[in-house]
Structure 1
Amino acid sequence: MNDIQIRPATEEDFHAMYGIFQTHVAAGETFPHGPDMDREASYDYWFGAPATTFVAVKGRERVLGMYKLVPNQLGRGSHVASASYMVSPNAQGVGIGHLLAEHSLGEARRRGYLAMQFNYVVSTNTAAIHLWKRLGFSIVGTLPKAYRHRRLGYVDAYVMYKLLEDPARWELADEEQDQAQDEA
């Protein structure tokens, strides 16, 4: 794992990213995107505003996985991050997802997010759910039969949440942000 680097994604990474994306979408087990999502729409998903996208690479070439970090909501909900992750099927089971997850939590904190929320974790994606729980996320809601799994039919999806900062400090962060806006 020493030779794996996580860095900002570039346009040159997109060909490999799109291959990983297509594989996950075609499987129909973890992402809501349909198989009709074309290359341009996929590019916009990973690189369009306000996404900040990172890749895990081995050496300088091989993309093993990726994630994008975005505000979960606009305006008064923008202090909560959300993210999407994909790992190449050829790299699953060796800790790439965990590396991406840890990196995204650090990046979210660095960018000033106070919490992270996943709006749509498919209940049958047990590896992801296990990882998120190990990293301190809780299931805060269940969306009954919200996901149409390719093999299993309709299954639940979860909303998962984690505080990234002690809420006692949130007021201070809000006051600093409001003061900065007043000064602008």
Structure 2
Amino acid sequence: MSSAYGAIARPLSTATLGSVLPRHATLRPSSSADQQNGHSTNNQATLFALSKSPSQTDSTFTLSASLHATLLNAMHKVFNTEVERGDTYPQEFILTEEQFLGYFLGGDAFVLIKGDYKDAREVGAKASAEEWDQDLLGFFYVKPNFPICNGGFMVNPRHRGLGLGGILGKAFLKVVPLIGYKASMFNLVFESNVASIKLWRRLGFKEIGRVPNAGRLRGQGELGGEAKEGYVDAIQFYWDFETMAVPVEYDA
């Protein structure tokens, strides 16, 4: 795998992601009526690993990008929408399909979809990215980070308010040790990304540093003319899996 420090091999691990995947979660009620009733229709979600090609050894918990190409198209669309909004990711330009695949599938990738699935083979293919819009909830990657790991997270904007950030964050803390990483650091959580900062603090990540003017984001400030760009600080969050226990309640 490639990192800012060159190619770094994925750590060796005897553990299997099949011990925690597929991972199931209950979504937060999406309306006042749901909250009063204490439930909502189709409020279950399932987290799968995502790989470039099919594998016989992990086919029960891994979706294949080659079999679900339209799912990758939908993820690409969600990611570029966030880049264009310009508050959370450092990219100054939207990514091509090839760039996105290299960026999000360059390490270990995971995707949360609506529905209660026991096996990845139960997830049917869809004809277009638009057909995934109702079911694609969020996704994240895990990559080497000299040589601990880093993570990048994305929530489908049409499904905000369902507690997806917490679901993805807790899943991250469960899968990372199984992959073999001993610690994780989020290098650049921009202070404009208020929701993420609140989430990592709430989940118990250590706040270990601040990088002044780390991001030049199109959604922040004024840098001349009509361009809405500005420099923002970034906060660094850390989790040491050898000294910080993942709370038992994060199992679900």
- Aligned partner of 1:17 in structure 2 is 75
- Aligned partner of 1:171 in structure 2 is none
- Residue 96 of structure 2 is aligned to residue 42 of structure 1: no
The one of 41, 45, 55 aligned to 2:111: 55
Q: Tell me the SS of whatever aligns to 1:24.
A: helix
Amino acid at match of 2:46: Q
Q: Which has the higher helix share?
A: 1
Within 5 Å, give how 1:64-143 maps onto structure 2. 64-73=137-146, 78=147, 80-143=148-211
Paired residues in the alignment total 160
- Aligned partner of 1:179 in structure 2 is none
1:85, distance to aligned residue in structure 2 (A): 0.3
CA contact (8 A) 2:142 2:152 kept: yes
Amino acid at match of 1:158: I
Q: Unaligned 5+ residue runs, structure 1?
A: 168-184
The two structures have a TM-score, normalised by structure 1, of 0.81
**Partners of 2:203 and 2:88 in 1: CA distance:** 19
Q: Tell me the SS of whatever aligns to 1:94.
A: coil
**Partners of 1:113 and 1:130 in 2: CA distance:** 24
Deviates more, 1:101-110 or 1:34-43: 34-43
Q: Unaligned 5+ residue runs, structure 2?
A: 1-26, 28-42, 51-63, 116-122, 124-131, 222-229, 245-252
Amino acid at match of 1:4: A
The higher radius of gyration belongs to: 2
Amino acid at match of 2:231: Y
Q: Which has the higher contact order (CA 8 A, sep 6+)?
A: 2
1:37, distance to aligned residue in structure 2 (A): 2.3
**Partners of 2:235 and 2:209 in 1: CA distance:** 6
Amino acid at match of 1:159: Q
1:71, distance to aligned residue in structure 2 (A): 1.8
Residue identity (%): 34
CA contact (8 A) 1:120 1:157 kept: yes
CA contact (8 A) 2:80 2:94 kept: no
Deviates more, 1:158-167 or 1:63-72: 158-167
**Partners of 2:198 and 2:190 in 1: CA distance:** 12
**Partners of 1:3 and 1:141 in 2: CA distance:** 36
CA contact (8 A) 2:83 2:94 kept: no
1:138, distance to aligned residue in structure 2 (A): 2.1
Distance of aligned partners of 1:86 and 1:36 in 2 relative to their CA distance in 1, 3 Å threshold = closer
The two structures have a TM-score, normalised by structure 2, of 0.60
- Residue 44 of structure 2 is aligned to residue 3 of structure 1: yes
- Residue 85 of structure 2 is aligned to residue 27 of structure 1: yes
**Partners of 2:114 and 2:241 in 1: CA distance:** 29
- Aligned partner of 2:226 in structure 1 is none
- Aligned partner of 1:175 in structure 2 is none
Q: Deviations over 1:71-128 (max 9, x none)?
A: 212xxxx2x2211000011112211111111111100022222211001100121110
Distance of aligned partners of 1:134 and 1:67 in 2 relative to their CA distance in 1, 3 Å threshold = same
